[in-house]
Amino acid sequence: MIYIMSEWMHLFEGAPLRDMARGAVVFRRDDPVQNMYLVRSGTVALERSTADGGFLTLHTATGGMALAEASLFSDKYHCDAVVRSDATVACVKRSDFLTSLGDSRAIALSLIETHAREVQVLRARIEILRLRRVADRLDAWLGFYGEPSKGEWITVAEQIGVSPPALYRELARRRGKRKSAP
């Protein structure tokens, strides 16, 4: 997905940057919300642990995406933010960010516009995840986003809610059909 610099992202110009290695934690569930974060590079996942010891990924933020922005209106975080690939994260005080939103209609509308697009993406993902067959999920994903870049198929597997081996079997099946077609 391509992100265009939105008006609200300018609030992070000159903000302190944190370089974080894979596995590092930006914040934990139940920590007080004190900052607003922007992922500059890398990948940070919002995760909640499950009763069986696993985890549920609620959102994956990459370069140019806000991190846990809904928490601006909460006292504490409702999940953990875990770095999935080395990341650089910009940090602005929550109070400063909220003041800027209140002071600038353009910034507030820019944030709303960004999140309206993200809601559309999430709704599409929900519809994809409702499909039962891997083939149907893959078709739907490709219909929305087109062919991924080389090396990005593993991300597609995560986004459509299947294991990488299941996705690779489906891709191999499709390649086999193309080769046998007259």
Opening angle at CA 130, ends 145 and 64, nearest 5? 40
Residues 120, 60, 48, 112: is their CA dihedral positive or negative?
Answer: negative
Cα 107 from Cα 61, distance rounded (Å)? 20
Cα 160 from Cα 41, distance rounded (Å)? 23
> Against a cut of 0.85, is the pTM above it?
no
Cα 3 from Cα 140, distance rounded (Å)? 22
What does each of the 182 residues of the chain score in pLDDT, given as a tens digit? Answer: 334 457 888 889 999 999 999 999 999 999 999 999 999 999 999 999 888 888 888 888 899 888 988 888 899 999 999 999 999 999 999 999 989 888 888 878 888 887 788 788 888 888 999 999 999 999 999 998 999 988 889 889 988 999 999 999 999 999 887 776 66
Structure tokens at 63: 């370069």
Domain ranges of the chain: 1-130, 132-176
Structure tokens at 53: 């010891």
CATH architecture under which domain 1-130 falls: Sandwich (2.60)
* Amino acid at the residue 95: S
Sole residue written with tokens 């999940």: 79
Alpha-carbon 38 to chain mean position: 12
